[in-house]
Amino acid sequence: MRYSPRKTAVILLFVLVASLLLVSSVCAAEAAPSLPPAANSSPSRMQVAVFVNSIYNLDMVQGTYSVDLYLTFRWTDPGIETAGFEFMNGEPSSGADSVEKIYENKSGPVKEEDYRVRGDFRVTPNNVDYPYESGILPIEIENTHLQSSQLVFVPLPDESGIEPGFVIPGWKFGTPAFSVTDHSYPGNQTFSRLSYNIPITNDALASLLQTIVPPLIFCIIAGLSFLIRVDHPELVHLRYVLTTSMFISAVMYHFGQLALIPGLGVLKLFDKFMIAVYLFLAVTVTVTTFCYLAQQQWGRPELVRPVNRYGVVVAIILPLVAFWLLMVQV
């Protein structure tokens, strides 16, 4: 068999090119990183319903309250064995039956757990408008172990609510609403947080009778001093007794109320009202003093009547103007 040098060179060139292509493909395969298998990145969904039986131990000034409620959890992820929830703005009440599982069904594709819970909750109080108290009573829930990349809560508003027959005397409830947010913690941990928010306001008339009426009575009694003449020293003494005793009573009453309200660093509505009361009482004492000076020391009895008359006007207008300015500016 005869070999042509030209054919031999072509075959060798073909083999060389094929070898180079094979080596380059192997090297490229070794250098390229392997792609991870595709994974389902969407988190599991857990439906939650909240039904409130009753709210007790309510203290909006301190921001504390206790709730008796039912919780319903539903999910379809077979990898989730239990609801595993915890309260983020409270804890179960003391007692063995504070958290009771009353129903469980995990035989079908939809898993369900129902609980009855008695818990003690808290919220940051907002007493700026005291004695008119209003706010939101939240019930905040997170999963104990699963982060928001693994589990998110889905509210069930149609199955949630408050016992229709439940009332708290002096308080009114609004329509509860759900909110779901991602709450982050140190260490790059984020959990889905479900909050069931219950609006509540107190009775305005009851608040007036309990807090505003006593200072008004102090002002009325002190205002009677304008009807007492200052012709004799004993009458002046009677006016001082009325005005100064009411002034002291107002201060003590104000301090008694402040002891019940946490400090906010700002003037509350009640503080602004009491400043107006102090101004009225201060004017009554001042008018009595000037009437006494005009009658007994200056020898100007003709000034007593105008000082007393204009003192009534100032005692009424000055507190009203001061209260309006405090409401507008502060």
Amino acid identity of residue 227, one-letter, is L
The contacts found for 225-234 with CB under 8 angstroms, 24 or more apart, are: 225/284, 225/288, 226/284, 226/287, 226/308, 226/311, 226/312, 226/315, 229/304, 230/288, 230/291, 230/292, 230/295, 230/296, 230/304, 231/295, 233/296
Q: How far apart are CA 137 and CA 196, in angstroms?
A: 8
Backbone φ, ψ for residue 106 (5° rounding): -125, 20
Taking the model in full, what pTM does it have?
0.73
Report pLDDT digits (tens) over 91-101: 999 877 899 99
Report pLDDT digits (tens) over 117-170: 999 999 988 888 888 888 999 999 999 999 999 999 999 999 999 999 999 988
Report pLDDT digits (tens) over 245-291: 999 999 999 998 888 776 667 788 899 999 999 999 999 999 999 98
Fold of 44-202: Acetylcholine Binding Protein; Chain: A, (2.70.170)
Q: Is 27 left (phi over 0), alpha (psi -120 to 50) or beta?
A: alpha
Burial 112-129 (b: 16+ CB within 10 A, else e): ebbbbbbbbbebebebee
Is 205-329 a CATH 1.20.58.390 domain?
Answer: yes
Average pLDDT over every residue of 174-196: 94
Structural domain spans, the chain:
44-202, 205-329
Report pLDDT digits (tens) over 49-77: 999 999 999 998 889 999 999 999 999 99
